[in-house]
């Protein structure tokens, strides 16, 4: 039987927000990753819709939500999320979030701890590690290059290879094309001034998270991303980190059944704990 999703829009103070909704039961809000929108979570929501009431908004500036001409920040996304949940009278929710969405979710849980029943963070962004500066500068460089520069790099690549220099032109061009589709993600992660980005990083605040936290990370992802997940797990009291042996960069879509099962187990364990202590 086909799962019937409800698509809705709501005018918030900063712009129109679009979301997908399905199911009934405990409320789960899914936040998408950096190079995506809420549709990323549709397969997982379909799997969980018979047990849970699932919501997947497109963050402001992404997907079918409005892209207002404003200065974007993580705190702006947090406040838009808070306004959205208040409008829908979702007082306490589970947050399941990937990459950039996980940064927003963790920031929301720190600011509004009484509203979060639990967090599942999938390959999260939002903390500084040893490779952060290098990664930011690399992504800024890719974004700033013209097509002419990419063409020249393709031409000199064979010569560079002779001297032992590796120029990843195809990989970086593919990344550039993806980045062009998500200008708000680029602004949040790379185009703001570095002090502003670093001011919203969470490594100095994660110790104050009170919601139960599960971190899911694919073991075939890049080492930088794996290090960020490990940092989250080390800094959040009581957090659990699960490495998925066959998982790559997009666990919600590539490992849907595994992620859905982890969400079920996490919520069931929270309900069991609540029953025991109450």
Query: Domain check: are 40 and 149 in the same one?
Result: no
* pLDDT tier at 21, thresholds 50, 70, 90: very high
Select the more confidently predicted residue: 26 or 2.
26
Q: How much is the pLDDT for 3?
A: 75
Q: Residue 119: CB partners within 8 Å, gap ≥ 6?
A: 94, 95, 96, 97, 105, 106, 109, 209, 211, 212, 213, 214
Of 160-169, 182-191, 222-231, least confident by mean pLDDT is 160-169
pLDDT at 88 over 90: yes
92 shares a domain with 119: yes
Instruction: Let me know if residue 55 belongs to a domain.
Output: yes
Query: Are 10 and 91 part of one and the same domain?
Result: yes
In a domain, 177, yes or no: yes
Q: Given a cut of 60, is residue 65 above it in pLDDT?
A: yes
Confidence of residue 31 (pLDDT cuts 50, 70, 90): very high
Average pLDDT over residues 246-274: 86
Q: How many domains does the chain have?
A: 2
Quick one: pLDDT at residue 156? 57
| Confidence band, pLDDT 50/70/90 cuts, at residue 154 | low
In this predicted structure, what is the pLDDT of residue 267? 96
Q: Whole-number mean pLDDT of the chain?
A: 89
Report the CATH number that the domain containing residue 64 is assigned in CATH.
Answer: 3.40.50.1820
60 and 110 part of one domain: yes
233 lies in the same domain as 271: yes
Residue-by-residue DSSP string for 22-52:
EE-SEEEEEE--TT--GGGGHHHHHHHTTTE
Pair (58, 169) in one structural domain = no
Q: What are phi and psi of 17, to 5 degrees?
A: -110, 135
Q: Is the confidence at residue 259, as pLDDT, over 70?
A: yes
211 has a pLDDT exceeding 80: yes
pLDDT at 45 over 80: yes
Residue 225, pLDDT score: 93
Q: How many helices, marked H, and strands, marked E, lie in the chain?
A: 11, 8
pLDDT for residue 258: 94
Give the per-residue pLDDT at 171: 77
Share of the chain above pLDDT 70, in %: 89
Q: Kindly report which listed range (24-28, 108-112, 243-247) carries the lowest average pLDDT score.
A: 243-247
Domain that holds residue 142: 132-181
Question: Is the same domain home to 271 and 174?
Answer: no
In this structure, is residue 37 part of a structural domain? yes
Residue 52 has pLDDT above 80, yes or no: yes
Tell me the whole-structure pTM to 2 decimals. Answer: 0.90
Helix (H, G, I), strand (E, B) or coil at 20: strand
Is residue 148 a part of any domain in this protein?
yes
Tokens 């992504």 appear where? 139
| Calpha distance 119→240 (Å, rounded) | 11
Tell me whether residue 220 is in a domain. Answer: yes
Residue 189 falls inside a structural domain? no
Identify whether 114 is part of a domain: yes
Q: Is 208 in the same domain as 249?
A: yes
Residue 250's pLDDT is 86
Q: Clarify whether residues 105 and 26 are in a common domain.
A: yes
Q: Of 114, 146, 181, which one is at a domain's C-terminal end?
A: 181
In tens, the pLDDT along 115-151 reads: 999 999 999 999 999 888 888 888 888 887 777 766 6
Q: What sign has the CA pseudo-torsion 188, 194, 198, 200? A: negative
* N- to C-terminal Cα separation, the chain: 38
Which residue, chain included where needed, has tokens 């998500």?
182
Residue where a domain stops, chosen among 117, 151, 181: 181
pLDDT for res 22: 97
Domain match, 72 and 163 both = no
- Residue 82 above 80 pLDDT? yes
Same domain (yes/no): 13, 112: yes
Same domain as 96, residue 40: yes
């Amino acid at each position: 039987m086909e799962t019937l999703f409800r698509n809705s829009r709501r005018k918030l103070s900063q712009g129109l927000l679009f979301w997908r909704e399905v199911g009934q039961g405990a409320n789960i809000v899914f936040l998408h990753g950096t190079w995506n929108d809420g549709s990323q979570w549709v397969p997982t929501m379909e799997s969980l819709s018979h047990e849970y009431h699932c919501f997947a908004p497109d963050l402001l500036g992404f997907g079918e939500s409005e892209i207002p001409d404003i200065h974007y920040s993580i705190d702006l996304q947090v406040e838009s999320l808070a306004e959205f949940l208040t409008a829908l009278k979702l007082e306490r929710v589970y947050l399941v979030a990937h990459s950039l969405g996980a940064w927003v979710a963790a920031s929301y849980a720190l600011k509004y701890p009484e509203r979060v029943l639990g967090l599942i963070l999938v390959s999260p962004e939002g903390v500084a590690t040893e490779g952060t500066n290098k990664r930011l500068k690399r992504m800024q460089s890719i974004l700033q290059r013209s097509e002419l520069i990419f063409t020249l790099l393709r031409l000199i690549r064979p010569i560079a290879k002779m001297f032992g220099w590796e120029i990843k032109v195809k990989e970086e061009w593919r990344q550039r094309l993806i980045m062009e589709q998500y200008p708000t993600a680029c602004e949040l992660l790379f185009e703001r001034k570095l002090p502003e980005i670093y001011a919203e990083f969470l490594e100095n605040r994660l110790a104050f998270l009170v919601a139960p936290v599960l971190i899911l990370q694919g073991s075939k992802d890049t080492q930088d991303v794996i290090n960020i997940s490990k940092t989250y797990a080390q800094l959040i009291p009581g957090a659990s980190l699960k490495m998925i042996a066959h998982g790559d960069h997009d666990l919600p879509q590539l490992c849907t059944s595994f992620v859905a099962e982890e969400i079920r187990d996490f919520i069931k364990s929270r309900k069991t704990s609540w029953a025991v202590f109450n």
